[in-house]
Amino acid sequence: MPNAVVMTGYGPPEVLKWAGVPLPEPGEGQIRIKVKAAGISPTDLALRAGYLKAIPLPPDAVLGFEAAGTVDAVGPGVTGASVGDGVTALLFGLGGYAEYAVASIWTGKPDTVSWLEAAALPSSAEAAVGVLRQLNVTSGETLLLFGGGGSVGVIATQLAAARGVKVISAVGEHDEALARELGATPVRYGPGVADRVRALGAVDAVFDAAGKGVLADAVALAGGPGRVITLSDPTAADFGVTLSEPTPDRAPGALDETMALLADGRLRLRAHTSMPMQQAAEAHRQLEGGTVHERIILTLE
């Protein structure tokens, strides 16, 4: 029987337990992956803590929206993937914190991309590509990005800048140099941020990848809520702002597009570190406690 990090209930990191689970079987159009690495997203922390109970979870749920590894089995109707292939997968149904995961959306892992990078890419890339598509920002426009130093913001900045979009990135002091390196103009996040943005000129659209109470400023700066999108602020409806949720049709092809850029050295990811998957509870504790400022990727030998 394989093992996985099972969520025994809602609560503190201690609810995550390394335990035996049934071997998942791939269905129509699915592959089974022998996992080498799995990313931890902010949504994983919120789900475990019980802040997102509107998203139903089965008993003994296994968290994880992204995993990388080798194809172990293929289901009916699968083409373009064979047992032994290296892949990275976007798991809308969760399940990444496990020795084996079943996926419907995946892309091949080039040799130039490490397992850690492959596991760090999927959900952030899908969100960045999806929201930029929904905002429809084009060359010559100005995009204000909240959370530019985060996993999604780092990717979104590079994709937008490559299209000729002027990016203003609201970040903390420790991410200002990074924002510049990625092609954005940084502004200090916090009280007075709206005035600092206005000093740089008009804003056409706002991408809130931070979800920390910035929507009033965002709507004012964009001249209304029409081109303001947040990934996670639960007050979005109060401001008439779109809350963009991960769905299979938000950004089809995002994984293929961004993996190609990553393999060619044309895309940087947020800095990351790794921990053994069996220590997932400790990884959650460190991320919630703010003791690490990098992404944590869970690994299996």
Q: Are 262 and 7 in contact (CB under 8 A)?
A: no
Q: According to the model, what pLDDT value does residue 77 have? A: 96
Q: How confident is the model at residue 203 (pLDDT cuts 50, 70, 90)?
A: very high
Per-residue pLDDT at 210: 87
Give tens-digit pLDDT for 105-118.
999 999 999 999 99
CA distance 277 to 300: 6
What average pLDDT does the chain have? 96
3-class SS at 85?
coil
Lowest mean pLDDT among 101-110, 155-164, 218-227, 247-256: 247-256
Bridge partners, residue 32, by sequence: 73, 102
Rounded-to-integer distance, Cα 255 and Cα 294, Å = 22
Q: pTM (2 decimals)? A: 0.94
DSSP structure class, residue 190:
S
User: Per DSSP, what are the bridge partners of residue 144?
Assistant: 168, 206
Instruction: Judge whether residue 187 has pLDDT over 90.
Output: yes
What does the alpha-carbon distance between residue 197 and residue 217 come to, in Å, rounded to a whole number?
10
Q: Which amino acid is at 211?
A: G
Task: Quick: pLDDT tens for 222-231.
Answer: 999 999 999 9
pLDDT value of residue 212: 78
The pLDDT of residue 234: 85
Question: How far is residue 95's CA from residue 183's CA, in Å, rounded to a whole number?
Answer: 35
- Contact 108/122 with Cβ under 8 angstroms? no
Measure the CA–CA gap between 97 and 131, rounded to whole angstroms.
26
**Segment 71-83 mean pLDDT:** 96
* pLDDT score of 301: 85
pLDDT at residue 211 tops 80: no
Three-state DSSP at 146 gives strand
Distances in Å between the Cα of 45 and the Cα atoms of 30, 40, 178, 256 are 26, 8, 25, 27
Burial class (CB in 10 A: 0-12, 13-18, 19+), 55: exposed
When computed from its CA atoms, the radius of gyration of the chain, rounded to whole angstroms, is 19
Q: What are 15-27's pLDDT values in tens digits?
A: 999 999 999 999 9
At 254, the pLDDT band (50, 70, 90 cuts) reads very high
Q: pLDDT-based confidence at 246, cuts 50/70/90?
A: confident
211, 217, 220, 223: CA torsion to nearest 10: -40
**All residues at 6 or more sequence positions from 38 whose CB lies less than 8 Å from its CB, including other chains:** 64, 66, 67, 68, 96, 97, 98, 101, 119, 277, 297, 298
